[in-house]
Amino acid sequence: MSRFIHKIKGVPKSSPVAILSAGVGSRIKSHEPRALLKVGETSLLEHQISLINQTFSNPEIIVGVGYEPWKIMKRIGQSVKFVENQLYQTSGSFETLRLIVNNTKDDNIIFFHGDLYFRQEFFRNLDYSRSFIVCDNQGNMSDKEVGVTESRERATIFSYGLDNKWCQIAFLKGKEMSMLRQICQKPNQEMKSLLTFEILNAIINKGGVFNIHYAPQNSILEIDSMKDLNNENFNF
């Protein structure tokens, strides 16, 4: 059953917001960094940053970059922090997250992948009092993306081939954040190729708990191809 929360609850006074934008937009036939994809009158990354600043009080925004980072830094300027994943071509998305986590000291973090477009109300519809992930059952995420099984509105396992799609967004605090930090501080070569959902699975297997919130209809869109930019529910 979809569960919507219509007011901000438990928002931490200080929380890094990590945007994982190390990749190139190859699937959308772009030679520019994916973060600079134009959506309407601005870039995707600028839209994300603006939305975060309108939602949270003094957020620490950290952008994980990799492909042609100088283009992103020049466009965005010094309004956010940047962490570079120099191994972006051979590493998984977790490596970018790991580098960001190791550059923070807070006991919580929000992270999301850089190919997501949000509407204004999206981040205001979440409960930040506990660790959570955001899922979609409205068809706004690609069929190829990883899904999630749940029990009692909590995530039990991430896996491909499931209808209930993970929106590539997570908030970690408390025990779950401690587990993430421990993993990030003791990496091995094999971990560099892991994706973020695989780390969340590891945290769940160790007893971590993630509540599941469902994205309200037409509040989020994964931009996976040029066709997505013509989605009739989003006026770019």
List pLDDT tens digits, range 74-125: 999 988 999 999 999 999 999 999 999 999 999 999 999 998 988 877 887 7
Q: Crossing angle for the helix pair 93-101 and 196-205, nearest 10 degrees?
A: 70
Q: How far is CA 103 from CA 18, 72, 172, 181, 193, in A?
A: 11, 19, 16, 11, 20
pLDDT above 50 for 6 = no
Distance CA 116, CA 105 (A): 26
CATH superfamily of 16-221: Spore Coat Polysaccharide Biosynthesis Protein SpsA; Chain A (3.90.550.10)
Spell out the domain ranges in the chain: 16-221
Q: In this structure, what token pair is assigned to residue 119?
A: 């509407």
The count of C-alpha atoms lying within 13 angstroms of the C-alpha of 133, restricted to the half-sphere facing its C-beta, is 30
- For 152-204, how does the pLDDT look when each residue is reduced to its tens digit (9 = 90+)? 999 999 999 999 999 999 999 999 999 999 999 987 888 889 999 999 999 99
Residues 6+ apart with CB under 8 A from 129: 9, 10
> How much is the pLDDT for 160?
96
